[in-house]
Amino acid sequence: MRAIAEPISVWHTEHVYFNRLLELLHEQLDVFHTGERPNYELMFDIVSYLREFSDRFHHPREEVAFARLAKHCPDLELQLSRLSQEHRVIAHAGEKLLALLNAIVGGAIIQRAEVEVAAATYLVYYGNHIAKEEEDVLTRAAQSLSPEDWEAVKAAVPGVQDPLSGDNLNGRYRELRRQIARER
């Protein structure tokens, strides 16, 4: 049972971490709503990290888990397909928001409404997506996936190093890690 509990725990822990990053992003969006200047660099780093780690490593592992879970639980097939589609929507929304934030950090003037729409789309999709997985998928995955299934999930993206962890912390993410530690 420990072999199954560990990947579920990792999956859940990553969701908790991603939700915390989304909260930090939302806090900066709230600053934006007051008419003040948010920390665009922090916003950029949050979205960049989520694109770099979640979209490239976390979501591909989930895709393998979804495919295997659909074979064990055909009643979840449509829901898992929607969640896979949301991975693509989240990646697209993240890329759009990242481009806007990159332009702002680079000195461009972007309409507030454009940034608000992009950030709100990203936050809503991502937050709802995580909630659906937590509520509907993790328990079923824990009940239904075998150790062999979990090995396939792990093998989907081997050797992943979280860019926010370890001693070789990318200088660009130092402030982001400091913000996360401060908020706990």
- b/e per residue 163-181 (b: at least 16 CB within 10 A): bbeeeeeeeebeebbebbe
Q: How many CB atoms lie within 10 A of CB 128?
A: 12
Q: At what angle do helices 112-132 and 2-33 cross, to 10 degrees?
A: 160
Per-residue pLDDT tens listing for the chain (184 residues): 444 558 899 899 999 989 999 999 999 999 988 889 999 999 999 999 999 888 888 999 999 999 999 999 999 999 999 999 999 999 999 999 999 999 999 999 999 889 999 999 999 999 999 999 999 999 999 999 999 999 999 898 876 666 666 554 556 677 777 776 665 5
Q: How far apart are CA 83 and CA 79, in angstroms?
A: 6
CATH superfamily of 2-153: nmb1532 protein domain like (1.20.120.520)
Q: How many CB atoms lie within 10 A of CB 94?
A: 23
Q: How many CA atoms lie within 13 A of 64 on its CB side?
A: 18
Single out the residue of 150, 149, 164 nearest to residue 9, CA to CA. 150
Question: How big is the chain by its Cα radius of gyration, in Å?
Answer: 17
The residue extents of the domains of the chain are 2-153
Amino acid identity of 42?
A: L
Q: What are phi and psi of 75, to 5 degrees?
A: -65, -15
